[in-house]
Structure 1
Amino acid sequence: MKYEWLDEYCLSKKGAIKDFKEEWDATRYLVGGKMFAMKGGDKDNKAIITLKCDPIFSHSLREQYQHIVPGYYMNKEHWNSLYLDGDVPDDILKQMIDMSYDLVVEKLSKKMLKEITGGFV
């Protein structure tokens, strides 16, 4: 697999944890109990990561990279799936992970943010 750094990068985010959702056969990355990334497979079992994304940026990425598609089994406006055997540059995938994490964190309660940041909001 390309992107060997993927797991470590997702877990480097403040408060990030991962679990395995057996019924989805997918690894989820969560912050504050909310998912910001999911690594699994599509209907043909091709490896993908699905990330939350700003709708306008989402559309732009899909036009620019053939290996970025509307979120598999997710809201197609707010989520993208990226094929892990594709040719998307590392820095673009990192930017997508950062955006997904930030979009999820900004929707967390102040109480949850304090828990994640150790009291700093």
Structure 2
Amino acid sequence: MTTSELLSYCMAKPGAEQQEHEALQATQVQADGVLFAMFHQVNDRPAVSLKSTPALADLLREEHEDVFPSQQLNKSHWSTLFLDGTLKDSQIYYLVDASLQQALATKGH
């Protein structure tokens, strides 16, 4: 999966807005004012950070070597995954959808 493919998928979500975060050298995608995806490079590899429940984050990290705690965001809720790794495209799309749901569910808390 390429960054542009996944970014297009994220931007197709209702109310999605994109902004550049210069300090983190990242592209952030928000919906309804809440962050749900952050695109960046990790060790010169394309990556995205996505939000999930702590339980899902732990499970993903145990099962996939290409999923690890986010360096820039809350490590219990945010995982970073390589886009050029072993995760299937369908899994990545599912995790984007789950991240959006989780971000919107926790808005205002």
Gaps of 5+ in 1: 110-121
RMSD: 1.5
Q: Which residue of 1 aligns with 2:93?
A: 94
SS at match of 2:97: helix
Q: Which residue of 2 aligns with 1:62?
A: 61
Gaps of 5+ in 2: none
Q: Answer yes or no: is 1:30 the counterpart of 2:30.
A: yes
Instruction: For 1:1-121, list aligned pairs within 5 A.
Output: 2-3=1-2, 4-42=4-42, 44-108=43-107
What's the CA shift for 1:47? 2.0
The CA distance in 2 between the partners of 1:107 and 1:85, in whole Å, is 29
The CA distance in 1 between the partners of 2:25 and 2:45, in whole Å, is 12
SS at match of 2:28: strand
Q: Which of the two has greater strand per residue? A: 2
The CA distance in 1 between the partners of 2:50 and 2:28, in whole Å, is 10
Q: Which structure: larger Rg? A: 1
The CA distance in 1 between the partners of 2:106 and 2:65, in whole Å, is 30
The sequence identity of aligned pairs, in percent, is: 29
SS at match of 1:69: strand
Aligned length in residues: 107
Runs of 4+ in structure 1 deviating by more than 4 angstroms, as ranges, are: none
Q: Which residue of 2 aligns with 1:115?
A: none
What's the CA shift for 1:85? 1.7
SS at match of 1:47: strand
- CA separation of 1:108/1:74 partners in 2, compared to 1, >3 Å: closer, same or farther? closer
The one-letter code sitting in structure 2 at the alignment partner of 1:9 is Y
What's the CA shift for 1:21? 1.1
What's the CA shift for 1:72? 2.2
The CA distance in 2 between the partners of 1:46 and 1:72, in whole Å, is 15
TM-score (norm 1): 0.80
User: For residues 46-83 of structure 1, what are the alpha-carbon distances to aligned partners after superposition, in whole Å with 9 as ceiling and x for unaligned?
Assistant: 32100001111111111111101111222111010001
